[in-house]
Amino acid sequence: MSNEYKLINGIKIAEKIKDEIVKEIIKLPSRPNLAIILIGDNKESCLYVNIKEREARKVGVDTHLYKCAENISENEILKMIDCLNRDNLIDGILVQLPLPKKFNTDKIIKAISKEKDVDFFHPENLKLLTISHKNIKILPPVFGASMAILQDIKCKIKNKKICIIANSDIFGKNFAKFLNCLGAQAETTKIGDKNLTDKTKNADILISAVGRKHFIKKEMIKEGAALIDVGIVKEDKKIYGDIDAEDVKEKAGFLTPVPGGVGPLTIAMLFQNTLELYKIHKNINHHLLL
Ligand code: GUN
């Protein structure tokens, strides 16, 4: 990998992907439909859902927002998901995370039919990541975003040491398993792991998704490493990532900025998944899910 530092433009890569999505959508007999369930008033979640709705309009995906007060019961949410699972208009269902603490997130995610699971978080779908990784067309959006970035910088992952720092197992462990199936040597770590710095310093590709402002410093990375910043921290109306870009810029090979890196790509991937689910649902090019 070149030692010349390169800031990766996630917005530009996302625009290219969205252009391709639009080209496909205009040829379809109808528009793909995405249901978004938003529970409570978490400011960031409301903001993200707003952005998803706005961007969906630009690619020809129809969104249907179900905004619920925090005092809704878990049973009511499960019933709503059941209705959407059976609603023939709807191709994809997304429950915006994190949910307020009183809800059982796993149970709610599992209730989404795997054929409409646009986040690809359903356990049956996550299993597909390792069983049929070679011809899989749908990935969890953050996985898809990271893969698109690595493809853009022409970074092959075979035999590469990859370290994923994540709070959540659903993200970290599953992503590492998937990358290992593709020939990488990926491992995960968490904040509090006493070997964290040993692992990050060894990594050709470092993916950080912990949400701690500028937590990754130059001492923690390998010279020339590709750094993918999935973290988002809001402070005083500004957005920061996990990686201290100023600090690492002399040493890093590639870096995704925050904002303007992984975020826009995650949204593009969400629409790509909606389109793929539409095609399966309508039996167009049916060659993905089992
Ligand atoms: N909240 C932050 N990122 C995501 C995501 O990828 N999917 C969902 N459903 N909620 C999120």
CATH code (residue 234): 3.40.50.720
250 found inside a domain: yes
Which ligand 1 atom minimizes the distance to the CA of 141? 6
Q: Is residue 105 part of a domain?
A: yes
Which residue, by CA, sits nearest to atom 11 of ligand 1?
97
Q: 106 with 145, same domain?
A: no
| Any domain includes 129 | no
Please indicate, yes or no, whether residues 60 and 144 belong to a single structural domain of this protein.
no
| Rounded-to-integer distance, Cα 35 and Cα 56, Å | 11
pLDDT higher than 70, residue 150: yes
pLDDT of residue 130: 87
Q: Looking at residue 78, which CATH number applies to its domain?
A: 3.40.50.10860
DSSP 174-239: HHHHHHHHTT-EEEEE-TT-TTHHHHHHT-SEEEEES--TT-B-GGGS-TT-EEEE---EEETTEE
Task: Give the E-state strand segments of the chain in sequence order.
Answer: 6-7, 33-39, 62-68, 92-95, 161-166, 185-189, 205-209, 226-229, 233-235, 238-240, 254-255
Q: Are residues 244 and 144 in the same domain?
A: yes
Query: Is residue 154 in some structural domain?
Result: yes
Structure confidence at residue 274 (pLDDT)? 98
Assess contact for 9 and 260: CB atoms under 8 A.
yes
| Cα distance between residue 144 and residue 167, in whole Å | 19
- The separation between the first and the last C-alpha atoms of the chain, rounded to the nearest angstrom, is 37
Q: Are residues 35 and 102 in the same domain?
A: yes
Total number of domains constituting the chain: 2
Using pLDDT thresholds of 50, 70 and 90, give the confidence band for residue 283.
confident
Q: Which atom of ligand 1 is nearest to the CA of 266?
A: 6
Distance 72 CA to ligand 1 centre (A): 20
How far is 286 from 290, CA to CA, in rounded Å? 10
Query: Is 288 a domain residue?
Result: no
Inside any domain, residue 70:
yes
Kindly report, residue by residue over 192-232, the tens digit of the pLDDT: 999 999 999 999 999 999 999 999 999 999 999 999 999 99
Report the separation in Å between the CA atom of 42 and the middle of ligand 1, taken as the mean of its atom positions: 13
Lining ligand 1 with CB less than 6 A are 94-97, 119, 141-142, 266
How high is the mean pLDDT of the chain? 94
Residues 81 and 153 in one domain: no
Same domain as 148, residue 67:
no
- Domain of 218, in residue numbers: 139-262
50 and 160 together in one domain? no
> Looking at residue 18, what DSSP letter applies?
H
| Amino acid 209: pLDDT | 96
* Domain co-membership, 202 together with 247: yes
Claim to verify: residue 89 and residue 46 sit in the same structural domain: yes
The answer to whether residues 175 and 254 belong to one domain is yes
Its pTM stands at 0.94
